[in-house]
């Protein structure tokens, strides 16, 4: 884009933000986010050290968004903020972004290699989570926090799959057993802990990506297994209709997964609330195993995934910073005890899968990012930030397995523990 055109567009965006007026549709927030993300991404992608080890443009855009809200440049009571949040969260662009990357990533993976990788991945995910919990408990004991308090206040929120699918349902379980005040008090602390864990997860992912560049023998360059699982075989000529057909299929899988989650296999039926991303993964795995999709549709999905992940990630990260990152909560929770326990928990979850990677023919860098950083990140948005900071969005299926399936298992464990442990007796 010529500089003079961008300057005019930036001026329009600044004028919109300054006046606070924005229409409640997709056009205003897309324009504002894209315009800011362009300059933010270009600047942070050129800052030495930051661009290699701390997430570069992706992390930079996220922090720009967080600071715009923190310093009231985009006040939460202005229409601009409402417009961004409504489109990004309420109207589902974040869901669209995750769904496209997730569905397309699963379906373009050669099925035999995916099946081989998936079993080993679940094993290193489980062992890494247990190791993270154990290391966190050890850290708690070192600073004088007993094991039960560490599990309730740190382990469960960090490993619980984020906010909407983790700490919120956990707090509801507590409220049902011990009252709304206990549930609310626990939730306030849990949110702060997950924010800190999320930041550590993103930073570790960015650092690991930098290590992968300096030590390429440890990294698959975006491949989890030592076989290239993202190459589509038997390519055919691709046209616009292939891409359109693939997009329709992607949307159809999203709709089906939400129907299963919200209307068929609900919490009342299966006794646990599994989000639609879990069913999305199951549907795509079944389609992949059945091998019923034509190769040209798979190529169309690969094209869609590439466009969305490469051209909209800066925008997505900026929106996450605006709508999801609470710098105030982060600063208030920055006690030495909290940082120490949280750091040890994240380290255990990240480094143990790296140590196990070789036994399962995985690359250590990708194993640490997917089975570790994604597990301790703050839900779907955290997974996007982790994979974006490490420039590995093609690993979205494994990231979603970590936070969704892993988080669902942690929620079951939390429900059992809260039935006998009153959190009010162990809160910090």
Angle at 412 (CA atoms; ends 350, 133), nearest 5 degrees: 30
User: Across residues 44-51, what is the average pLDDT?
Assistant: 85
Which among 76, 91, 106 is the end of a domain?
A: 91
Please name the residue that has the structure tokens 């990294």.
219
At 323 the pLDDT is 86
The dihedral built from the CA positions of residue 364, 410, 123 and 261, taken in this order, carries a sign that is negative
Question: Is residue 269 pLDDT above 60, yes or no?
Answer: yes
Please name the residue that has the structure tokens 């011990």.
178
Per-residue pLDDT band at 329 (split at 50, 70, 90) = low
The dihedral built from the CA positions of residue 380, 324, 331 and 329, taken in this order, carries a sign that is negative
Residue 340 CA to residue 334 CA, distance in Å, equals 10
Burial classification of residue 10, based on how many CB atoms lie within 10 Å of its CB (0-12 exposed, 13-18 middle, 19 or more buried): middle
**pTM for the whole thing?**
0.75
Residues 64 and 181 in one domain: no
Residues 223 and 330 in one domain: yes
Per-residue pLDDT band at 52 (split at 50, 70, 90) = low
Q: What are the residues facing 362 on neighbouring strands?
A: 225
- Tokens describing residue 103: 């569905």
User: Across residues 253-265, what is the average pLDDT?
Assistant: 93
At 405 the pLDDT is 79
Residues 320 and 293 in one domain: yes
Residue 57 CA to residue 306 CA, distance in Å, equals 17
Residues 87 and 113 in one domain: no
Q: Which residue has the higher pLDDT, 8 or 406?
A: 8
Burial classification of residue 269, based on how many CB atoms lie within 10 Å of its CB (0-12 exposed, 13-18 middle, 19 or more buried): exposed
Residue 299 CA to residue 376 CA, distance in Å, equals 32
Question: Is residue 376 pLDDT above 90, yes or no?
Answer: yes
Quick check: 373 and 201 in contact, CB under 8 A? Answer: yes
Q: Which of 125-129, 282-286, 324-328 has the highest mean pLDDT?
A: 125-129
Cα first-last separation, the chain: 52
Residues 51 and 71 in one domain: yes
Question: Is residue 422 pLDDT above 70, yes or no?
Answer: yes
One DSSP character per residue, 90-128 reads IS-HHHHHHHHHHHHHHHTS-HHHHHHHHHHHHHHHHHH
Q: What percent of the chain has pLDDT over 70?
A: 94
Q: How far is CA 63 from the centre of its chain?
A: 16
Quick check: 314 and 168 in contact, CB under 8 A? Answer: no
Q: Which of 184-198, 349-363, 384-398 has the highest mean pLDDT?
A: 349-363
Please name the residue that has the structure tokens 């999203």.
254
Question: Is residue 291 pLDDT above 60, yes or no?
Answer: yes
Least confident span in 23-32, 44-53, 71-80, 343-352: 44-53
Can you tell me whether residue 415 is helix, strand or coil?
helix
Containing structural domain, residue 138: 95-425
Question: Is residue 109 pLDDT above 80, yes or no?
Answer: no
Least confident span in 33-42, 66-75, 176-185: 176-185
Residue 317 CA to residue 49 CA, distance in Å, equals 20
At 424 the pLDDT is 82
Q: Which residue has the higher pLDDT, 334 or 342?
A: 342
Which among 91, 126, 147 is the end of a domain?
A: 91
Q: How far is CA 337 from the centre of its chain?
A: 25
Which among 45, 74, 91 is the end of a domain?
A: 91
Residues 381 and 243 in one domain: yes
Question: Is residue 68 pLDDT above 90, yes or no?
Answer: yes
Per-residue pLDDT band at 413 (split at 50, 70, 90) = confident
Residues 74 and 15 in one domain: yes
Residue 354 CA to residue 357 CA, distance in Å, equals 5
One DSSP character per residue, 222-284 reads S-SBSS-TTPPSS-----HHHHHHHHHHHHHHHHHHHHIIIIIS-HHHHSS---HHHHHHHHH
2-35 pLDDT tens trace: 999 999 999 999 999 999 889 999 999 999 999 9
202-240 pLDDT tens trace: 999 999 999 999 999 999 888 888 765 554 455 677 888
Quick check: 342 and 192 in contact, CB under 8 A? Answer: no
- Cα separations (Å) of 314 from 1, 42, 295? 16, 10, 30
Count of the separate structural domains present in the chain? 2
* Residue 362, φ and ψ in degrees, nearest 5: -105, 160
Residues 296 and 341 in one domain: yes
Q: What percent of the chain has pLDDT over 90?
A: 45
Residues 143 and 245 in one domain: yes
At 132 the pLDDT is 96
Residues 233 and 138 in one domain: yes
User: Across residues 165-189, what is the average pLDDT?
Assistant: 81
Question: Is residue 189 pLDDT above 90, yes or no?
Answer: no
Per-residue pLDDT band at 428 (split at 50, 70, 90) = low
Q: Look over the chain and give the mean of its residue pLDDT values, rounded to a whole number.
A: 87
Residues 27 and 143 in one domain: no
Residues 81 and 105 in one domain: no
Among 407, 352, 412, 341, which Cα is nearest to 374's?
407
Q: What is the 3-state secondary structure (H, E, C) of 369-381?
A: HHHHHHHHCCHHH
């Amino acid at each position: 884009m010529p500089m003079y055109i961008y300057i005019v567009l930036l001026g329009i965006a600044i004028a919109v933000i300054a006046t606070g007026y924005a229409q409640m549709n997709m056009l205003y927030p897309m324009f504002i986010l894209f315009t800011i993300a362009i300059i933010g991404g270009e600047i942070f992608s050129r800052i030495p050290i930051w661009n290699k080890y701390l997430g570069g443009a992706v992390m930079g855009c996220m922090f720009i968004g967080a600071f715009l809200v923190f310093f009231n440049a985009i006040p939460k009571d202005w229409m601009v903020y409402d417009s961004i949040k409504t489109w990004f969260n309420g109207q589902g662009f974040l869901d669209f972004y995750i769904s496209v990357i997730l569905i397309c990533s699963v379906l373009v993976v050669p099925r035999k290699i995916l099946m081989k990788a998936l079993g080993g991945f679940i094993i290193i995910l489980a062992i890494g989570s247990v190791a993270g919990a154990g290391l966190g408990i050890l850290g708690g004991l070192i600073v004088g926090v007993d094991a039960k308090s560490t599990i309730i206040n740190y382990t469960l929120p960090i490993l619980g799959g984020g906010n909407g699918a983790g700490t919120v349902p956990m707090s509801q379980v507590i409220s049902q057993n011990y009252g709304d005040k206990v549930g609310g008090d626990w939730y306030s602390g849990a949110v702060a802990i997950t924010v800190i864990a999320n930041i550590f997860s993103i930073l570790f992912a960015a650092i690991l990506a930098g290590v992968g560049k300096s030590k390429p023998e440890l990294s698959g360059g975006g491949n989890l297994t030592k076989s290239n699982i993202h190459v589509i075989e038997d390519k055919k000529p691709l046209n616009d209709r292939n891409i359109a057909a693939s997009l329709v299929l992607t949307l159809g899988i999203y709709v089906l997964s939400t129907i299963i989650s919200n209307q068929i296999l609900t919490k009342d039926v299966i006794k646990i609330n599994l989000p639609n991303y879990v069913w999305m993964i199951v549907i795509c795995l079944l389609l992949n195993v059945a091998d019923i999709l034509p190769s040209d549709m798979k190529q169309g999905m690969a094209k869609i995934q590439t466009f969305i992940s490469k051209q909209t990630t800066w925008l997505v990260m900026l929106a996450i910073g605006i709508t999801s990152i609470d710098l105030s909560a982060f600063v208030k929770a920055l006690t030495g005890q909290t940082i120490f326990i949280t750091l040890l928990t994240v380290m255990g979850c990240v480094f143990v899968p790296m140590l196990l990677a070789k036994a399962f023919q995985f690359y250590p860098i990708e194993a640490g990012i997917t089975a570790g950083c994604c597990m301790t990140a703050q839900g779907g948005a955290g997974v996007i930030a982790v994979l974006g900071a490490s420039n590995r969005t093609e690993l979205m299926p494994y990231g979603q397995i970590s936070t969704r399936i892993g988080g669902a298992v942690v929620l079951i464990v939390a429900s059992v523990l809260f039935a006998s442990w009153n959190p009010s007796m162990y809160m910090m």
